[in-house]
């Protein structure tokens, strides 16, 4: 019997099914892994944005983590939406308690519709407490700008920001270039930096507004690849291929931003 690789996804629930835990589970299972979940927040959202958020109490987040990690365990732990500093601290405490080494962090700060889903205190807690425990961080351009405290308008600036973020204690960082200005003709590019060397991963630009859940899908596919023992470089290369296909097969469900489709 083949080994069952387990990915624990920690994040918010998306009632529209396009991002968050729902996207995480689709991505993990598409990669042949078993998905586990810890819900940090419930969101009322659709293709037009987030209408309301209910933050799960910290004690119940801790209870979920204990229930999963004390019995089933996880080969990789991936974090997404963490609204408050208390949530970040709770997750950090359990990562340390259970000795989780394969940690993938998607620093979700702003929802597709523009709503803030990480408070400033949570961002500070993430930088101070979680990043030093993180194997791979997967910010998009705006998130990388916030973490590196600089503007990013070029590939060279992406590399400079990646170095600044690694200096915060992260082992590896992948900056996703979908928000980089002027890339429609030359294609999208992501930059991986492991503290020593830069790697570039490119794909053709796909013209669509239906990109909801791209970041969640990216980080979850990466987490699944790492759970299976792939190297960072091979894992990110596979992510770029699969996420590009997910965007290509994205779904126009309603009038707003439809979801990417990893199962397409």
Ordered by start, the domain boundaries in the chain are: 6-248
238 in the Ramachandran plot: left (φ > 0), alpha (ψ -120 to 50) or beta? alpha
Q: Is the pLDDT of residue 81 over 80?
A: yes
Locate 243 and state its tokens.
């996420």
Q: What is the pLDDT of residue 183?
A: 65
Q: What pTM did the predictor assign?
A: 0.96
End-to-end CA separation in angstroms for the chain: 28
Q: How many Cα neighbours within 13 Å face the side chain of 165?
A: 36
pLDDT band at 187 (very low <50, low <70, confident <90, very high): confident
pLDDT band at 68 (very low <50, low <70, confident <90, very high): very high
CATH topology of domain 6-248: 3.40.1190
Q: Is 216 a catalytic residue?
A: yes
pLDDT band at 1 (very low <50, low <70, confident <90, very high): low
Close Cβ partners of 129 (under 8 Å, ≥ 6 residues apart): 88, 89, 92
Q: How many Cα neighbours within 13 Å face the side chain of 113?
A: 21
The catalytically annotated residue of 37, 43, 47, 214 is: 214
Task: Yes or no: say if 230 and 33 are a contact pair by the CB < 8 Å rule.
Answer: no
Q: Is 79 a catalytic residue?
A: no
Report the 10 Å Cβ neighbour count for 7. Answer: 31
The catalytically annotated residue of 12, 16, 215, 256 is: 215
Q: Is 214 a catalytic residue?
A: yes
pLDDT band at 182 (very low <50, low <70, confident <90, very high): low
Q: Is 215 a catalytic residue?
A: yes
């Amino acid at each position: 019997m083949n080994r069952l690789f387990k990915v624990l996804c920690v994040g918010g629930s998306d009632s529209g099914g396009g991002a968050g835990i729902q996207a995480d589970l689709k991505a993990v299972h598409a990669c042949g892994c078993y998905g586990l979940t810890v819900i940090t927040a419930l969101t009322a959202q659709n293709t037009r944005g987030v209408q309301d958020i209910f933050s799960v109490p910290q004690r119940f987040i801790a209870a979920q983590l204990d229930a999963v990690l004390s019995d089933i365990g996880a080969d990789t732990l991936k974090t997404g939406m963490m609204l408050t500093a208390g949530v970040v601290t709770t997750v950090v405490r359990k990562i340390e308690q259970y000795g989780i080494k394969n940690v993938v962090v998607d620093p979700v700060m702003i929802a597709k519709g523009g709503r803030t889903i990480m408070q400033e205190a949570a961002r500070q807690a993430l930088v101070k407490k979680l990043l030093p425990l993180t194997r791979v961080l997967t910010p998009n351009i705006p998130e990388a700008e916030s973490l590196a405290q600089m503007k990013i308008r070029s590939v060279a600036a992406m590399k400079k920001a990646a170095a600044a973020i690694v200096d915060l204690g992260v082992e590896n960082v992948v900056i996703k270039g979908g928000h980089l200005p002027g890339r429609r003709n030359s294609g999208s590019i992501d930059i991986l930096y492991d503290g020593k060397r830069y790697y570039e991963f490119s794909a053709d630009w796909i013209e669509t507004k239906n990109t909801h859940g791209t970041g969640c899908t990216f980080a979850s596919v990466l987490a699944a690849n790492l759970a299976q023992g792939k190297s960072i470089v091979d894992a990110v290369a596979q992510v770029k291929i699969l996420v590009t296909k997910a965007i290509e097969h994205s779904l126009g469900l309603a009038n707003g931003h439809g979801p990417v489709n990893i199962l397409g």
